[in-house]
């Protein structure tokens, strides 16, 4: 019989768990505003949000993967590889199709297809071949990183100059002053939140992450749910790459380095459990914003060196996990 190790004030704890990330974000905004007048300017906010959109879009997908009890270390390299592939395809088809939007769409299609395929490969190895997610994605992380380096021959893959001008607005333009990456990030986040909270897929992912045996015995197709989380993440990496390539118009071996860790960190700061079973997408969005604000504040202020960005982020991540420890969970 499982006796309830009753928590004297469960509501208080719950509140802290829900409110913690939001409070941290508010505190950061206040600190930023106090330290630099430019912090709250439209230009700076747009800049921060647009830059965080890549990690953000990926982190939404990562939320599902982690909720279902998985992990994906390959997303950073995957993004670099897809960016390289997208550039190569567009450059290669340039003589045939000429400069213009049709070629951009081919590039986008390439990114989505490559992302889907990469997610499928991860998912297949993890579900069908039953290899640990950590090992599989550690392997594919190395593979994609090395492939993009090889494609670029150790240097940089640059998109044709004419194409760059056409593709540039995808990152820099938008509607009503809101840039496309921010819009796409918002749409992905809203969709993700709805699916996680109200969709059968979100519920199934949490069930699989919580106890895959129970899910299996309850007629849930565990392998398909797991597979879909990786494929979904792959597609989102493709979308993030579509947003990223127009920014610089190039890809190299240093593209997307450490994105995977930032995405995972954002997910955890947001209150999703690393061991799976519970996830919240809105928390991930807050986590992404917290991480990018730290970098931005350090850049804007003189007191602390921006080189300490990683250290501050690390402290925040550890603090977040300490605050969200679940005492009721049996060890």
Phi, psi of 206 (to 5 degrees): -65, -40
> Cβ 213 to other proteins, closest distance in Å?
5
> Cβ 331 to other proteins, closest distance in Å?
12
Binding-site string for other proteins from residue 204 to residue 233, where x marks contact by CB under 8 A and - marks none = x-xx--xx-xxxxxxxxx------------
Nearest alpha-carbon partner for 159 in 95, 84, 240, 80: 84
* Vertex 79 angle, CA 183 and 57, to 5°: 30
158 versus 223: smaller Cβ distance to other proteins = 223
Distance of CA 197 to the CA centre of its chain: 18
Q: Is 329 in the site for other proteins (CB under 8 A)?
A: yes
> Cβ 194 to other proteins, closest distance in Å?
7
Establish how many alpha carbons lie within 13 A of residue 307's alpha carbon, considering only the half-sphere containing its beta carbon: 1
| 278 vs 284: CA distance, rounded Å | 12
Nearest alpha-carbon partner for 188 in 54, 51, 26: 54
CB atoms within 10 A of CB 41: 11
Q: Looking at 13, 17, 164, 203, which residue binds other proteins (CB under 8 A)?
A: 203
Binding-site string for other proteins from residue 266 to residue 285, where x marks contact by CB under 8 A and - marks none = -----------xx-------
Q: Looking at 89, 199, 321, 323, which residue binds other proteins (CB under 8 A)?
A: 199
Place of tokens 């194409």: 163
> Cβ 272 to other proteins, closest distance in Å?
14
Give how many residues touch other proteins by CB under 8 A.
Answer: 30
7 versus 38: smaller Cβ distance to other proteins = 7
Q: Is 327 in the site for other proteins (CB under 8 A)?
A: no
Binding-site string for other proteins from residue 1 to residue 20, where x marks contact by CB under 8 A and - marks none = xxxx-x-x------------
Q: Looking at 12, 22, 40, 200, which residue binds other proteins (CB under 8 A)?
A: 200
Radius of gyration of the chain (CA): 21
Place of tokens 């190299």: 252
| 27 vs 19: CA distance, rounded Å | 12
Q: 235, 76 in Cβ contact below 8 A?
A: no
91 versus 211: smaller Cβ distance to other proteins = 211
175 versus 213: smaller Cβ distance to other proteins = 213
Distance of CA 285 to the CA centre of its chain: 9
51 versus 224: smaller Cβ distance to other proteins = 224
Q: Is 43 in the site for other proteins (CB under 8 A)?
A: no
| 85 vs 65: CA distance, rounded Å | 25
Would you tell me which residues interact with other proteins (CB under 8 A)?
1-4, 6, 8, 194, 198-200, 203-204, 206-207, 210-211, 213-221, 277-278, 328-330
């Amino acid at each position: 019989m499982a006796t309830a190790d009753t928590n004297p004030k469960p509501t208080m704890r719950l509140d802290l768990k829900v409110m913690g990330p939001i409070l941290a974000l508010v505190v950061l905004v206040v600190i930023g505003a106090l330290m630099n007048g430019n912090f709250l300017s439209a230009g700076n906010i747009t800049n921060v949000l647009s830059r965080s959109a890549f990690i953000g879009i990926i982190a939404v997908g990562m939320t599902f993967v982690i909720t279902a009890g998985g992990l994906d270390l390959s997303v950073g390299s995957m993004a670099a590889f897809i960016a390289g592939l997208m550039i190569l395809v567009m450059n290669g088809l340039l003589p045939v199709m000429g400069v213009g939007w049709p070629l951009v769409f081919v590039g986008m299609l390439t990114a989505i297809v490559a992302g889907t395929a990469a997610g499928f490969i991860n998912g297949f190895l993890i579900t069908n071949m039953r290899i640990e997610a950590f090992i599989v994605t550690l392997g594919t992380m190395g593979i994609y990183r090395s492939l993009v380096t090889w494609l670029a021959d150790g240097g940089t893959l640059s998109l044709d100059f004419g194409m760059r001008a056409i593709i540039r607005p995808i990152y820099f333009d938008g509607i009503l002053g809101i840039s496309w990456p921010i819009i796409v990030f918002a749409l992905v986040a809203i969709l993700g939140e709805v699916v996680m909270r109200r969709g059968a897929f979100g519920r199934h992912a949490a069930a699989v992450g919580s106890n895959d045996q129970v899910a299996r015995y309850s007629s849930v197709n565990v392998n398909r749910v797991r597979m879909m989380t990786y494929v979904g993440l792959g597609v989102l990496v493709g979308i993030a790459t579509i947003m990223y390539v127009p920014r610089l118009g190039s890809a190299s071996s240093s593209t997307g380095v450490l994105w995977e860790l930032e995405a995972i960190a954002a997910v955890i700061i947001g209150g999703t459990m690393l061991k799976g079973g519970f996830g919240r997408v809105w928390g991930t969005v807050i986590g992404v914003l917290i991480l990018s604000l730290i970098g931005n504040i350090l850049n804007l202020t003189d007191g602390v060196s921006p080189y300490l960005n990683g250290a501050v982020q690390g402290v925040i991540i550890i603090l977040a996990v300490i605050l969200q420890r679940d005492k009721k969970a049996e060890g």
